[in-house]
Amino acid sequence: MKKTFLLSLLFAFALAENSHAQSSEVFKKSGYKLTFENQDTTFSKELKDKLVETFYEVYPKLAKEYNKKTSRNVTFVIDTTYDGVAATSDDRVVFSAKYMTSHPKDIDVVTHEVMHIVQAYKESNGPGWLTEGIADYARFKFGVDNAGAKWALPAFKTSQSYENSYRVTARFLFWIEKNIKPGLVKDFDSQLRDHTFTDNSWKNATGKTLDELWSAYSANPAV
């Protein structure tokens, strides 16, 4: 009996310690609910507020532009053990406490990650590089302070490929939007979500294959 009591006491202490280490707040605005879970007791309140503010500035815009049926219930987690930058699964975004504290101006990590929630491609039949390229295109178009983070689309290099993903692909998409087919990103985003995207989607939308588009881009990459 004494052993059971001792185990119960240790369990209670463990719960108390865990509840102290992780705080949870709920925000509701404009029809969207954001649950903010913080595992880092030293995490800046100013940075937390900025993450929340950025969510409410960009997420409704992304929803309006790309997917009006996107989730209205999102969770942010400040994770002290995650070694990357951020990662999204379903409606949950995990941010590295270490990275965000070291790069407080890179606030549009939020924009990229919540675009993944809006995308909701699930078991997509499209390439991963295009998914990430669209998310960085959304950051380029809707980001609140890319300049503050010194984040920009990269200059074209002959060593690049559309499969490089992220900003390289985003710049290629921007070039297509500007020079070939306005609205292509929105169209492809919808196709990817509906699982109707195929390799022929490029030619159906622009009259050119993907490789032909990249060749044209490489010959005159100015944007």
**Tens digit of each residue's pLDDT (9 = 90 or more) over 118-131:** 999 998 889 999 99
DSSP of 93-141, one letter per residue?
EEEEHHHHHH-TT-TTHHHHHHHHHHH--SS-SS-HHHHHHHHHHHHHH
Asked if residue 53 and residue 134 are part of one domain, the reply reads: no
Beta strand 86-89 with 92-96 is antiparallel
Asked if residue 137 and residue 111 are part of one domain, the reply reads: no
Asked if residue 96 and residue 181 are part of one domain, the reply reads: no
According to DSSP, residue 27 is labeled E
What number of helices (H) and strands (E) belong to the chain? 9, 5
Do the domain assignments include residue 83? yes
* Residues whose CB falls within 8 Å of the CB of residue 16, separated by 6 or more in sequence, listed in order: none
Q: Which residue has the tokens 């929340």?
A: 52
pLDDT of residue 21: 55
Asked if residue 139 and residue 75 are part of one domain, the reply reads: no
Is the whole model's pTM more than 0.75, yes or no?
yes
Q: Is the dihedral of CA 63, 67, 70, 72 positive or negative?
A: positive
Q: How far is CA 120 from CA 16, 77, 131, 186, in A?
A: 36, 19, 10, 14
Domain with residue 91: its CATH number is 1.10.390.10
Q: Are 45 and 18 in contact (CB under 8 A)?
A: no
* Residues whose CB falls within 8 Å of the CB of residue 69, separated by 6 or more in sequence, listed in order: none
> 80 is in which domain, residue-wise?
22-120
**Tens digit of each residue's pLDDT (9 = 90 or more) over 21-42:** 589 999 999 999 999 999 999 9
User: pLDDT-based confidence at 19, cuts 50/70/90?
Assistant: very low
Q: Which two tokens stand for residue 81?
A: 């053990």
Asked if residue 71 and residue 48 are part of one domain, the reply reads: yes
Asked if residue 175 and residue 154 are part of one domain, the reply reads: yes
**Tens digit of each residue's pLDDT (9 = 90 or more) over 190-199:** 999 999 999 9
Do the domain assignments include residue 138? yes
| Residue 53 Cα to chain centre, angstroms | 15
Which of 104, 114, 160 minimizes the C-alpha distance to 138? 114
